[in-house]
Structures are given as C-alpha cells and as structure tokens.
C-alpha cells in the first residue's frame, strides 16, 4: 500500500484555530496587553459633576415649591437620630446618579440612596461635559483610569444640617477644627474633605489616618474625624489623642 497524502484544509484549520482561541479567551480572559485601558478626563468629570449637582438642586427646589417633599423615616442612626428620606432625596439621586451613568458608562458611583426603579436612558437629558469656568481655571487636563475613580453622592434634601458646612467653617477661619467623635457616612464628608485638601488642610480619623474613599464595601468611617487647616497633627496629639488616652486610663 502506497503512502497516503494528507492535505490540510485551510478553512478547517482556521476554524479550529479560531475556536481554540475563543475557548482560551473565554476561560482566561483577554491578556492585559490586548485590553485598552479606559480613561476619564478629570476636567470633563468636574464639569459634568457641576451640571448634575445643579440639575439635582433644581429637582429639590421644584419639589419644595410644590410642597411634595413626602418625608418619611428610613430608621435611626446608632446615635438615635432619625434618618429621613424625602422625594427630594430620590429625585436628586436619580438626576445625579443616572446622569453619571449615561455620560460615563462604567464609572463607579456610590450614593446615599438606592433606587430599584428601572430607568430608560432615553428619558435622561444629555449633560454638557464642558464648563467655561472650569476651562478658565484649569488649563491642563489629566486623564486617569476609570477604575481609579469613585464618585460619592449625597443627594440634596435640605431636611438636616449639612456636614460639609462644618468643614467650610474651618476653611473660612471661623473655627479652628471640626471634630466628630462617632461613626459617620463617607458621603457626608467627602465633598468637604476635597475642598479642605485643595486649601492644603487635612481631614483624618481621630487615629490620624486618612479616610479611604476607594471602597464600595465600606461606606462608614467608624473612627471619628478631625478637620483642620493648620497644625493638624499637633492639634490631634494635644487635644484629641491625649484626652482620649486619659479617658481610657480612667476606665
């Protein structure tokens, strides 16, 4: 019997290779060098944030003027204070969170409120990603990976005091420090923290650690906070750490 000739079908070979490649990608995912890292412009993010905050504020104002706040309690904090939810909360939440979702798909946004109501992005107005004042004040833009950015949202409701107000008192020199000794939600302090940092001030826990806003799983800062514009660690040591240690010794 003579030798058999084997001829490789190029179409079949290509199909087998493609199938094998698909299986490898399905099991192991795309290699890092194959994936293009998605980035976001910080100037555009700031401009969109300003536009969405204004949109959320307008929703709250309309509800206030229409006397349709529909206030109800979500429960109580560990300190015994009522946690209030209003229609203004939800409308502001929807305006801001869904606006971010439409403008920057995939951006991590953490809001005080949650909404299980389905939403159609067709019903959400587009957001202008350009702001003249931002362009005037910030000449150089910076783009960072999406996975390095987390946006925290505390919808406006005007039912209680604003935590950011206390930080502004420090920035404007009407208070030496803002001290909070109990647990506090990060969406209540992140905006004030950002503004304080821009003025070279500091906000830390009462243990002196900077507050981490990167985690979606931990939305509560359990270790109190100290916000100052000057002499932060000196103030922390003299007025916070030593009295706390003294109280522990007395127990």
Binding residues for Mg(2+), as ranges, are 188
- As to burial, measured by CB atoms within 10 angstroms (0-12 exposed, 13-18 middle, 19+ buried), residue 132 is exposed
Buried b (16+ CB within 10 A) or exposed e, 6-42: eeeeeeeeeeeeeeeeeeeeeeeeeeeeeeeeeebeb
Residues in binding site: 188
Rounded Cα–Cα distance for residues 3 and 137 (Å): 80
Please choose, from the candidates 43, 41, 191, 59, the residue with its C-alpha nearest in 3D space to the C-alpha of residue 124. Answer: 59
Rounded Cα–Cα distance for residues 128 and 45 (Å): 10
Say if residues 107 and 96 touch (Cβ distance below 8 Å).
Answer: no
């Amino acid at each position: 019997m003579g030798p058999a000739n084997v001829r490789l079908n190029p179409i079949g070979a290509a199909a087998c290779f493609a199938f094998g490649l698909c299986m490898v990608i399905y099991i192991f995912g795309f290699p890092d060098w194959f994936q293009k890292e998605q980035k976001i412009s910080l100037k555009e993010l700031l401009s969109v944030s300003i536009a969405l905050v204004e949109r959320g504020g307008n929703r709250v104002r309309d509800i206030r003027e229409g006397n349709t706040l529909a206030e109800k309690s979500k429960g109580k904090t560990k300190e015994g204070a009522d946690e209030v939810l209003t229609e203004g909360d939800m409308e502001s939440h929807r305006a801001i969170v869904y606006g971010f979702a439409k403008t920057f798909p995939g951006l991590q946004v953490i809001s005080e409120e949650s909404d299980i109501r389905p939403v159609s992005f067709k019903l959400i107005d587009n957001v202008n990603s350009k702001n003249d004042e931002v362009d005037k004040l910030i000449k150089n833009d910076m783009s960072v990976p999406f996975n390095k950015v987390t946006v925290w949202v505390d919808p406006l409701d005007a039912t209680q005091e604003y935590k950011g107000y206390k930080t502004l008192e420090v920035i404007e020199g009407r208070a030496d420090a803002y001290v909070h000794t109990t647990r506090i939600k990060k969406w209540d302090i992140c905006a004030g923290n950002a503004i304080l940092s821009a003025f070279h001030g500091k906000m830390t826990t009462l243990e002196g650690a900077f507050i981490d806003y990167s985690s979606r799983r931990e939305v509560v800062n359990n270790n109190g906070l100290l916000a100052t514009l000057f002499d932060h660690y000196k103030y922390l040591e003299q007025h916070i750490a030593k009295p706390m240690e003294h109280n522990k010794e007395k127990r």
